[in-house]
Amino acid sequence: MIRRAGKIIIAAATLALGFAVDASATDAGDWEAVVAEAKGQTVYFNAWGGSDNINAYIRWAGGEMKARYDVDVVHVKLDDTAKAVATVVAEKAAGKNDDGAVDLIWINGENFAAMKREGLLFGPGWATRLPNWRYVDHETKPTVLRDFTIPTEGLESPWGGAKLVFFHDSARTPKVDLPDSAAGLLKWAEANPGRFSYPQPPDFTGTSFLKQVLVELIDDKAKLQRPVDVATFATDAAPLFAYLDRLTPLLWRQGKAYPQNYPDMKQKLADGELDIIFAFNPAEASSAIANGELPETVRSFVFSGGTLGNAHFLAIPYNATAKAGALLLADFLLSPEAQLRKQDPKVWGDPTVLSLAKLSPEDRSAFESLDLGIATLNPDELGPALDEPHPDWMTRIEAEWIRRYGAAN
Amino acid sequence: MGQRIRIKAPRAGSRALTADTLLALILGLPILAGLAGVILPAFGYLPALGGSGLKRDHFAELASQPHILRSSLTGLLAGLATTGAAVAIVGTFLAGFAGTPVFSRIQHLVSPLLAVPHAAAAFALAFLVAPSGFLVRLVSPELTGFTRPPQWLVPNDPLGLSMVAGLITKEVPFLFLIALAALPQLPLRQSRQLTAALGYGRLGGFLVSLWPALYRQIRLAVFAVLVYSVSVVDLAIILGPQLPATLPVRIAQWTADHDLGARFLASAAALLQLAIVLAAVVIWLLVERLGRFALARLTYSGRRLRNDAVPRFVSACAMAACAALIFLGIAILCIWSVAGLWPFPNDLPAELTPQTWLRTLPQLWPALQTTIALALAAAALALLSAILLLHHNGASGRGGNGPRYRLLYLPLLLPEISFVFGLQILIVSAGLKPAFASVLAVHFLFVLPYVLLSLSAPWRELDRRFENIAAGFGKPSLQILLTVRLPLLLRACLTAFAVGFSVSISLYLPTLLIGAGRLTTIATEAVALSSGGDRRVIGVYALVQASLPFLAFLIASLGPQLLFRNRRAMRT
C-alpha cells in the first residue's frame, strides 16, 4: 500500500510538471479505420440520467450501435455531469492516462470550459471531421461552434440545441396577462406574489434565468462576450441585483426556499404552487403533457425581445478507453436519422443542430412533418436567441447570488 | 484445569492479534488513505490540478464562504437533536413496553422501516407535509378553503425541523432494531419482576435496572446515528434548510462544482466536517455523563416513578408515528408510481396507469441483478469476517474492545463525504479497473462495521456456560462454534446479515465514485432519477429498493420462527 501511495505521488508529481500524454492515435479523419477499430468496443457514455425519455433514447441509440457497428454502449447515468469530470480529474491525479473509465460525456458550459482549461479532453478538431458534420448548421447557429462563448475548436461535437422557453397553465393564467420581458415578469410577480420562482443557483436552469435577466438589463451586451472585468463588475451587475432585490420577496415562499431544478418546477406547476415556469427545451411542456405530468392546458411563450439560446455537446476525455467507439457514437448521434428521432416530442423533443437546407429531400420533409406537440412553439415562433455570456459571468454571479440571497431565512 | 487455561490463553491471544491486525489493516488502511486523499488537497496538495505546495489558503477561503458558520451549526444541532430524540423514543419505548404484546406488534411494524432508503423516505415525507402535499390535499378545499397551496415554508424550514423529523423516522427503527438484537441477552423478565416487586413503575424500573446495560450494548450504534445525522447529504437536500444548506450538502455541491478548483475548498470543508463530527461526539459524551449522573441521582433518590402512563403513551405514539409516516409515505409513492395527472387539491389521481412500471421495469432489471449480487456477497463476506473476528477475540471474553478493532468502526464514525473522494484516487492509482470486485471491497468496508455492530453485542452476552459444557465434553473450538454458538445465535446472525444486506443496498456515494458510474445499482439509479424529480419513477425505484431489504428482514425474523418452532426460547 505504502509503495502504491509512493507511486501515486510520483505519478501525480509527473503530471504536475505538465506531462499529459495523448497516447491515442485514433484519428477522425480516417473514418474507415475508426469504424474498424471501434468494432467490439464498449463505450461508457456518461450522461445525465434524470429523465426517462432521454434514457430511453440513449438506449435506442445503443441498440442501433450494436446492430450496425458491433459497438456496445453503456449509459452511465449521472445526476450531475460534474461527477464525470470528477472521475477524469481523479484518474489524472492518479496518473491514469490511458484506459480511463469515461469514453464520452454529455457536456456544455462550465464543465466544458473547465475540462478544456485543464487539458482533460481528447482532440482538438475531431468533431469537425466527423462524416455527419457536413449537415451541421454552423452558419446560422453559432452556438455549435462557441459553447458559452468558449470556442469549441472541435473538442466537442454538437448534439442538440436549446432555447429558454416559459410555460404556463392557460386554465389558470390567461395568455393576455403573460409578461413579455424580465421587467414585465417583475410586474406580473407583483400582481401574483408567490407564484414564480427559479431553481436555486448553482442549478443550471436557475443560473440561466439570472443570465437572461442580466442580458436584458446590462447597459452594454458586448461586455458579456468577454470575461468579467473585475473593476466594473459591481456596476455591470447592479441592475440585475436591483431587479432581484425587488423580485425576491415576490417569489414562491418569499424566496426563503427555491425549487431544486427544472423537473421540480414542473412538479410545482402541476401542484399549483407555481404559475410560470421555464425550461431550456422548447418541447418539454408537450412531452410532459404526453406523460401525464402536466395538464393539457399548459402552453409555451417567449419574450419578444429574445431569450437565451445555447447548444449541448458530446466530448471525449483525453484518457478514454474506447475513443474510436466514442467517435462512432458521436457521429451516429449527429446523423439525420438520430437527430430526427431526438426532435420527435414523443421520444425526446430536443431541437436538432442540423441545417434542414443541407439535408436530403426525404430527411428534410421528415423533419418538416414532425408533429411538435400541442404546447410547443414552432421554430419561427421561438423569437430571437440571445447569446450566452462568457462562463466567467456565471461563476461571478453565482457567488454574488449566494452571498446576497444564500441565507434568506 | 487452571493451569491449562493459563498456558492456552497467551497463545489464543497472539493468534487473535494477527487475525485482528490483518483485518484492521485491510479495513483501516483504505480509510486512512482516503482521509489522506482529502487532507492533502485541503492543504493545497493535488498535483493534477496544479496544487503542489502546502498552504492554508483553502481554509481561509472556506472561512470566507458566506454563512459557513450557520451551515455548520444547523447540521450539528440537527444531528444532536435527532440522536437525542431517537435515543429518548427508543429508550422510553423499550422501558415502557419490552415484553408486552404491544411491543411485539410494534416490533413487526418497525423492522421493515429500516429497509426504506433515506432518499425515498425523505421524498415520501416531503410529499406528505408540503403545502401541496397529501395531508393538505386531504382536507382541502373542504376544511381549509385552499384551492391553491398555501405559502408555508415546509419542508426546507430554516431550523431544519422537517429534516430532523425525517431523520428521526429513519434512525428510530435502526436503533430499535439494534436494541432488539441486544435485548434477549438482558434478564428482562427477572428485572421486571424485581423492580415491580420493589414498587417501581415500568419506566422507572427499566431505567434503574436495565438501561445502563442496554445502553452499553447499543452505544456504538448511537454514535453511528449521531455521525450519520450530523453529516447526512441526500435527506438534507430534500428536507433540510436551503438558504444556507447544511455543510455536508454544501460539500457535496463543491465536490460537484464545475470549477475544479472548488475541490480544494471541498477538501478543506470535509476536514471541517470531520471537526464538527468530533465536536458532536464530544457533546454527546457530555450528554452521556449528564444522563449517567441524572440516573444515579434518580436511583439513589429511591423514587419509584409509578405514574408513567403519559411518557409511555407518548413513546408508543412516537414509535407508531414513525412507522405510520413512512408506511403512509410509501403507500403514496405506490399511488404515484401508477398515477396519471394528479393536480392539487385532488386527494387521488384522476387516472391510474401502469405505464410508468412498464417503462421502468426493463431498465431496472440489470441494475437489480448487480444490486442483489453485491449485497449478498458483501453481507455474506462481512458476516463471515465478523464471526471469525468475534470467534478469535471471544477467547479474551471481551471481544471488540481493542484499539485496532475500533478501526473497523471508522467507516461508521467518519462522515462518508470526508474520505470517499480520496479513496477513489487510491483505487484508481492502484491500477484497479472500476469493477465488481473493487466496488464489492468498498461495500464490504461499509457493511462490515454494521454487521459487527449488530452481532457483537449478542455474541458477547451469550451465556458462556453452553460452550463451557461443550468444551467439557472435549469438543474442539471450531465444532463448538458450529454446533453450539452459531445455532444459538442464528437469529442475531440473520439480523446482522439483513442489516449488512440493506446497508449495501443503500450505498450511493461509494458505489458511484468507486464504480466510476459503471456499476449501476438501484441506489445510484434512484438518486440519479431523484435529481429529475419525477415522483412516478421515484415511486417505482423506492418501492423496489425498499422491498429488497424488507425481504431480507422478513427472512431474518421468520427463519428462526420456522427453524425453532418447537423451541420457544429461541424464537425471540
Give tens-digit pLDDT for B179-193: 887 787 789 899 999
Mean predicted confidence (pLDDT) in B520-532: 75
Q: Do A114 and B258 touch (CB under 8 A)?
A: yes
Strand partners, A167: A277, A300
Q: CB of A370 within 8 Å of any CB in chain B?
A: no
Q: Which residues of A touch B52 (CB under 8 A)?
A: 13, 16
With a pLDDT cut of 70, the percent of chain B lying above it is 87
With a pLDDT cut of 90, the percent of chain A lying above it is 56
Q: Would you say residue A144 has pLDDT above 50?
A: yes
Q: Do B258 and A85 touch (CB under 8 A)?
A: yes
With a pLDDT cut of 70, the percent of chain A lying above it is 93
Domain annotation for chain A: domains and CATH numbers = 7-160+312-376 (3.40.190.10), 165-309+386-405 (3.40.190.10)
- CA–CA separation, B113 and B93 (whole Å): 17
Q: CB of B517 within 8 Å of any CB in chain A?
A: yes
Q: How far is CA A13 from CA A16, A89, B34, B44, B483, in A?
A: 5, 14, 19, 14, 56
CA B275, B279, B285 angle in degrees (round to 5)? 145
pLDDT tens digit sequence for A248-261 = 999 999 998 898 88
Contact status, residue A347 vs residue A171, Cβ threshold 8 Å: no
- CA–CA separation, A173 and A328 (whole Å): 47
Residue type, A356: L
Q: Do B531 and A266 touch (CB under 8 A)?
A: no
Nine-digit cell at B524? Answer: 445510484
CA distance B3 to chain A (A): 42
Q: CB of A101 within 8 Å of any CB in chain B?
A: yes
Q: CB of B470 within 8 Å of any CB in chain A?
A: no
Mean predicted confidence (pLDDT) in A48-55: 83
User: If you average pLDDT over every residue of chain B, what do you get?
Assistant: 82
For A271, the closest of B50, B344, B426 (CB atoms) is B344
> pTM of the entire structure?
0.77
Q: How far is CA B377 from CA A209, B436, B497, B516, in A?
A: 47, 11, 10, 20
Name the residue of chain A whose CA is nearest to B338's CA. Answer: A292
Q: Which residues of A touch B433 (CB under 8 A)?
A: 99, 101
For A7, the closest of B241, B263, B429 (CB atoms) is B429
Q: Would you say residue A393 has pLDDT above 80?
A: yes
Tell which of A73, A79, A118 to mutate to test the B interface (max B CBs under 10 Å).
A79
Q: Do A94 and B429 touch (CB under 8 A)?
A: yes
Q: Do B531 and A76 touch (CB under 8 A)?
A: no
Q: Which residues of A touch B48 (CB under 8 A)?
A: 12, 15-16, 89, 92-93
Here the ipTM equals 0.74
- CA–CA separation, A152 and A119 (whole Å): 13
- Residue with cell string 415491580: B196
- CA–CA separation, A245 and A125 (whole Å): 44
pLDDT tens digit sequence for A90-116 = 888 888 898 899 999 999 888 899 899
Please report the pLDDT score of residue A362 as a whole number: 94
Please report the pLDDT score of residue A2 as a whole number: 41
Mean predicted confidence (pLDDT) in B348-364: 86
CA distance B67 to chain A (A): 7
Please report the pLDDT score of residue A23 as a whole number: 40
CB pairs under 8 A between A and B: 209
Q: How far is CA B49 from CA A91, B291, B491, in A?
A: 12, 49, 51
For B66, the closest of A15, A82, A402 (CB atoms) is A402
Mean predicted confidence (pLDDT) in A39-65: 91
Contact status, residue A217 vs residue A182, Cβ threshold 8 Å: yes
Q: Do B531 and A80 touch (CB under 8 A)?
A: yes
Collapsed DSSP state (helix, strand, coil) of residue B160 = coil
Residue B396 pLDDT grade (very low, low, confident, very high; cuts 50, 70, 90): very low
Please report the pLDDT score of residue B555 as a whole number: 84
CA distance A393 to chain B (A): 13
Segment 3-42 of chain A within 8 Å of chain B by CB: 4-5, 7-8, 11-13, 15-16
Q: Would you say residue A338 has pLDDT above 50?
A: yes
Nearest partner of B507 among B440, B435, B453, B426, judged by Cα? B440
Poorest-confidence range of B120-134, B263-277, B297-311, B404-418? B404-418
Strand partners, A165: A279
Q: CB of B87 within 8 Å of any CB in chain A?
A: no
Poorest-confidence range of A358-372, B34-48, B385-399, B409-423? B385-399
Q: Which residues of A touch B517 (CB under 8 A)?
A: 44, 46, 76-78, 83-84, 87, 101-102
Question: Cα–chain-centroid distance for residue A233?
Answer: 26
Contact status, residue B126 vs residue B238, Cβ threshold 8 Å: yes
Q: Which residues of B touch A99 (CB under 8 A)?
A: 433
The strand pair at A42-48 and A104-107 is best described as parallel
Kindly indicate whether the domain formed by B19-40+70-570 is annotated with CATH number 1.10.3720.10: yes
Nine-digit cell at B226? Answer: 449521531
Please report the pLDDT score of residue B266 as a whole number: 85
Contact status, residue B394 vs residue B459, Cβ threshold 8 Å: yes
Nearest partner of B333 among B64, B133, B549, judged by Cα? B133
Q: Do A407 and B70 touch (CB under 8 A)?
A: yes
Mean predicted confidence (pLDDT) in A65-86: 89
Mean predicted confidence (pLDDT) in A264-268: 90
Q: Do B259 and A83 touch (CB under 8 A)?
A: no
Contact status, residue B516 vs residue B433, Cβ threshold 8 Å: no
For B259, the closest of A114, A200, A252 (CB atoms) is A114
Name the residue of chain A whose CA is nearest to B36's CA. Answer: A5
Please report the pLDDT score of residue B71 as a whole number: 92
Whether the ω angle into residue B155 lies within 30 degrees of 0, i.e. cis, is: yes
Strands in B153-289 per DSSP E: none
Residue B158: how many CA atoms within 13 Å on its side-chain side?
11
Q: Secondary structure of chain A: what % helix, strand, coil (to 5)?
A: 45, 15, 40
Mean predicted confidence (pLDDT) in A11-19: 39
Mean predicted confidence (pLDDT) in B299-323: 88
Please report the pLDDT score of residue B558 as a whole number: 83
Name the residue of chain B whose CA is nearest to A294's CA. Answer: B341
Q: What is the 3-state secondary structure (H, E, C) of B323-364?
A: HHHHHHHHHHHHHHHCECCCCCCCCCCCCECCHHHHHHHHHH
Contact status, residue A80 vs residue B531, Cβ threshold 8 Å: yes
- Residue with cell string 431505567: B207
Name the residue of chain A whose CA is nearest to B514's CA. Answer: A87
Q: CB of B48 within 8 Å of any CB in chain A?
A: yes
Strand partners, A45: A75, A104
